[in-house]
Amino acid sequence: MPLNAPAHDPLLEAAQAQVSLEQAAAIAAERFAERGELLRLAGERDLNFQITRTDGSACLLKLSHPLEDVQVVDFQTGALLRVQQADPTLPVQRVYPDQEGNYQGWVEVDGQRMLARLLSFVEGLPLHRIKQRSPALRRNLGDALARLDLALHGYSHPASGHELLWDMQQAARLRPLLQHIENADERALVERSLDAFETHALPLQKELRAQVIHNDLNPHNVIVDAEHPEVLRNILDFGDMVYAPLINELGVAAAYQLGTEGDVLAPALEFIAAYHSRNPLQEVEQAILADLMATRLVMTLSITAWRASLHPENRDYILRNAHQARASLQGLAALSRSEARERIARACQEESHA
């Protein structure tokens, strides 16, 4: 798709499917022999139902959106199986077969045809509920993401290059969405940051090493231990996976490790250094990482403003990351590009010599 084509994603524009708890329970019982108390969880596209069994353990029934491409779902399922085989101890969501041995299968509810999958569910706290994140937590998370990317290295699938609005390679297409950002100063900041991406990072995208990446390590997709929050329990939601430059993975994830006041870059440097220790970054990747972090924040602010205007009934969930994204982007913009680049390079160099 041309870079100047307008942003478009039917899945994000469409309303969610409608499935009751009773209907979801019937699917869980008939296809997966799972029974228990169901609770619907929030989600952007898919429907997610936590199933708590009588022994207190739990699992997750995921029903893909009726408009979702079956090949894209198969791409995601294959990645989960790949990671489970390549790094069995990595705390990543698991996928389980149904009673016929299939990891995904069609179900129909009131004329809505969807793919059903059964996934693991791990108790703990979502990272966004941890207000004070320790250096140990940031380092553990950076190391886990590096392990995830190493596990995914070499994984291929026909749908890996599917069109995805959240794919940073396509960020230049977001300009038509900026009109939905109501605050003029914020909109101007987003425009300047997008200009910087197009000038410094976009020309290099096709030259960088690339692979399948998770592409969405935001605080809602990370579960930590409730008593010891530095301990990572689970990485969730492979729904935004795509084949892309590897450094885009870190650009996405590190954007969520930025602070919201003072020296906003400092917390992210600990995360970046830990990733680099396990999966070393190339110099050209380090040089554009700050641009990519800013671009992820731009994508968050523009896409969520647009989607909130389309789905006001789901506004709170859609805008859950907007406040932090705004504050982090303002703080990052206060640094010169050269300063941010030099600090990232120094953090990686110090980690290499540690």
Q: What would the DSSP string read from start to end of 127-174?
A: GGG-SS--HHHHHHHHHHHHHHHHHHTT---TTTT---TT-GGGGGGG
- Sign of the four-CA dihedral 96, 97, 98, 99: negative
For domain 125-353, the CATH architecture is Alpha-Beta Complex (3.90)
Provide the whole-model pTM: 0.91
Who wins on pLDDT, 88 or 12?
88
Binned at pLDDT 50, 70 and 90, residue 2 comes out as very low
Tell me the C-alpha distance between 133 and 140, whole Å: 11
pLDDT band at 351 (very low <50, low <70, confident <90, very high): confident
Q: 44-53, 236-245, 314-323: which range is least confident on average?
A: 314-323
CA pair distance 248, 233, nearest whole angstrom: 24
Rounded CA gap, 209 and 262, in Å? 33
Cβ partners under 8 Å of residue 50, min gap 6: 38, 39, 40, 41, 58, 59, 60, 121
Distance of alpha carbon 118 from alpha carbon 29, whole angstroms: 11
Q: State the CB neighbour count (10 A cutoff) for residue 195.
A: 10
pLDDT confidence of residue 354 = 65
The CATH 3.90.1200.10 domain(s) of the chain lie at 125-353
Name the band, by pLDDT with cuts 50, 70 and 90, for residue 56. Answer: very high
How high does pLDDT run on average in the chain? 92
Residues of the chain with CATH 3.30.200.20: 18-120
Query: Within 13 A of 39's CA, how many CA atoms are on the CB side?
Result: 8
Packing angle, helices 265-278 and 283-310, rounded to 10? 120
CA–CA distance, 310 with 79 (Å, rounded to integer):
31
Residue 241: CB partners within 8 Å, gap ≥ 6? Answer: 75, 76, 79, 160, 212, 213, 214, 215
Rounded Cα gap, residues 184 and 66, in angstroms: 37
Q: What percent of the chain has pLDDT over 70?
A: 95
Question: Tokens 């959240």 sit at which residue?
Answer: 166
Residue 4 — very low, low, confident or very high, per pLDDT cuts 50/70/90? very low
Of all residues in the chain, the percent with pLDDT exceeding 90 is 82
Closest C-alpha among 1, 307, 43 to residue 161: 1
| Alpha-carbon span 340 to 290, nearest angstrom | 6
Quick one: pLDDT at residue 42? 79
CATH class of 18-120: alpha beta
Positive or negative: CA dihedral 138, 144, 147, 151: negative
